[in-house]
Amino acid sequence: MLKGPQGDSWRRLDNTAKLFPVITNQNFSNVYRLSATLSEEVVPGILQRALEEILPQFEGFSVKLRRGFFWYYFEKNKRLPVIERETTYPCKYIDPHSNQLYLFRVSYYEKRINLEVFHAITDGLGATNFLKALVYRYLDLREDESLAHPVKQKISSDISMNVEDSYVKNYKETTKRKYSSSRAYSLKGDLLTLDEENIIHGYVDIKALKTASKSYGVSLTKYLTAALIWTIYQEYLDKEPCEYPIGISIPINLRAFFSSETMANFFAVTLIDFLSKGNNHTFEEVLGRVSTCMDTNITREKMEEIISYNVSNEKKWYLRIAPLFLKWGALNLIFRKNDKAYTMTLSNIGPIQIEEEYKDRIKQFHLMIGVSKRQPVKCAICSYEDKMIVTFTSVFKDTKLQDGFFNFLKEQEIPVELESNGVPDERDNKGMYPAIQYDTTVWKKLVRSFYGVMFAVAAFLGIINYATYSGSMWSLIAIGLIAYVTMTVEYSIMRHANLASKIVDQTLAAGLLLIAVDYATVYNGWSVNYGIPSTILFADLAVVFLIIVNRLNWQSYFMYQLAITIFSFIPIILWAVGLITRPWLALGTVVITVLILIITIVLGDRSVKTELKRRFHL
């Protein structure tokens, strides 16, 4: 990362990026894909080399996500990213603890290179610049594989390495424009089985599309947005009245309104809606409403209001000092509420321009965005040469929205060629995507079954103990052991959390389990006198061992050591209230953990200060 005011190894997330780690999960990936199709099949070894050579030039991508006390932050990632052959459906969740800790994925399939990006690191412009640089470098290396020295790297002149927070830079006090939280119409349908995803590309003739939009006196984006709403009105509402409006979320590139060269996120979202009052609406009426909404909402003044609202919330002192776990709950509630205002998303990144010397070897680009439970269908658009590529991602078995949309364009005498990934049927499948042979959902179902069995066994033992009670609550011991085993499976086997976090979690669980066993076997205090101090001491020594083994990355474990040191004072509190009767082990644990922490701070010197600064930054 470039050296800056925040240090040379970490940086804050931009204003919008702060939201994504909080709301993201397996069912809401916040991942989008931009891909380039070449004139010949991809050579994996050359693609890997190209990625390794261009990555150092892109500060915003060379990061891993870390959790601070108040906010998430980015830390420099020194690992080597690894490309992979495409074997899953697009835009799946990127686990920040896997994938070499990177927040993007590069894959390939036959002639196509895919870049999948977690939205926290950049928006569409940043991804476009990264993919272009990767493809340029790949094609240069591919052109002359026999050279002993690397060919000269070429980075397009329109690519910036700036990762400033342009929201904060362009913030000024003004009228704050809140996001709509009124409920919009929600698309319903039968879901595809397992982890399947329906991808349909429509290759639209730009010249004919421009002719059609000009005939109505509107821009391409207005025309396509109206066409999408018109299709939903026909196919889902059946032209009937609806109490909820059709709401389309439109991301807006703020660089068009403000001076910014940032490669971080710099976009805003605006709502375009239409309320159906009956079966007499016309396409012209829908287009008029869309045009009015866009003319009113997409202005510099309105964008300033959105920036003011977003940044002012971040600057509120009581929000800044709130711990991350409290922010997590609050931001999730706010986002879920606001997300109800959108039926689906339509994202258009515009034309992709490439250097002349590469045009004959790059045949096509595609953009697609991951769906969510609230928005099971999304639409993404990019343009290349004489084609506009409209891509629908969906988890519905039917394709009535896609069919209706493209049929409308055809009725307007706009040529459209379709291509799909073969889901749910083989219609328009041209072999562009791999046939998925496995699905991780099967594993998820097994895990849920395991949890169900554990819960059933615990409940059964509790019922038996109650029915045969003779003075002993032996079931508490068994239930505690079951809970501990379940937690071990969850955090130590299934998740990719680092070892230090597992140790902290297991320490807390072990302490509760010891108390439960002590209580169930005629409580005499051995759990608090000896058990809890011993587990805390063991945890501290285990983290110290991890620090020694991973000396080059020891800072990653410092916060866990600090947490365990704080935990070591819990037995002292229990002693003060009279629950501990033999305090020698508790006192010894506090002395040892504090002493080890002091030694770590002294030996760590400036590194500890840097770690504390980024972990506790406001």
Instruction: Report the candidate in 169, 171, 163 with the shortest Cα–Cα distance to residue 17.
Output: 163
Query: Which residue type does 45 have?
Result: G
Please write the tens of the pLDDT for every residue from 5-44. 344 588 999 999 999 999 988 788 999 999 999 999 999 9
| pLDDT at residue 150, as a whole number | 53
- Judge whether 512 and 480 are in contact, CB under 8 Å: yes
Residue 30 contacts residue 120 (beta carbons within 8 Å): yes
Model pLDDT, residue 269: 94
Element (H, E) at 247: strand 246-253
The residue among 573, 569, 546 whose CA lies nearest residue 558 is: 546
pLDDT score of 464: 76
How far is residue 246's CA from residue 578's CA, in Å, rounded to a whole number? Answer: 63
Residue position matching structure tokens 């459906």: 89
Whether 266 and 167 have beta carbons less than 8 Å apart is answered as yes
Residue 147: per-residue pLDDT: 54
Burial of 486 (0-12, 13-18, 19+ CB in 10 A): middle
Can you spell out the DSSP letters for 18-57?
TTHHHH-BTTB--EEEEEEEESS---HHHHHHHHHHHGGG
Query: Which amino acid is it at 47?
Result: L
Which of 12, 7, 76, 86 lies closest to 44, judged by CA? 86
Q: What is the Cα–Cα distance from 563 to 502, expressed in whole angstroms?
A: 13
pLDDT at residue 506 in the model: 74
Q: Determine the pLDDT at residue 7.
A: 43
Distance (Å, rounded) from C-alpha 556 to C-alpha 550? 9
Could you state, in order of their start, the residue ranges of all structural domains in the chain? Answer: 10-144, 440-615
* Residue pair 550/494 in contact by the 8 Å Cβ criterion: no
DSSP labels, 392-414: EEE-BS--HHHHHHHHHHHHTT-
- CATH annotation of 10-144: 3.30.559.10
Note the pLDDT of residue 3.
43
Query: Which residues in the chain come in under a pLDDT of 50?
Result: 1-7, 148, 157, 493, 496
The one-character DSSP state at 118 is E
Output the DSSP codes for 183-194.
-------PBPST
What's the whole-model pTM score? 0.79
pLDDT tens-digit map of 256-292: 999 898 999 999 999 999 999 988 899 999 999 999 9
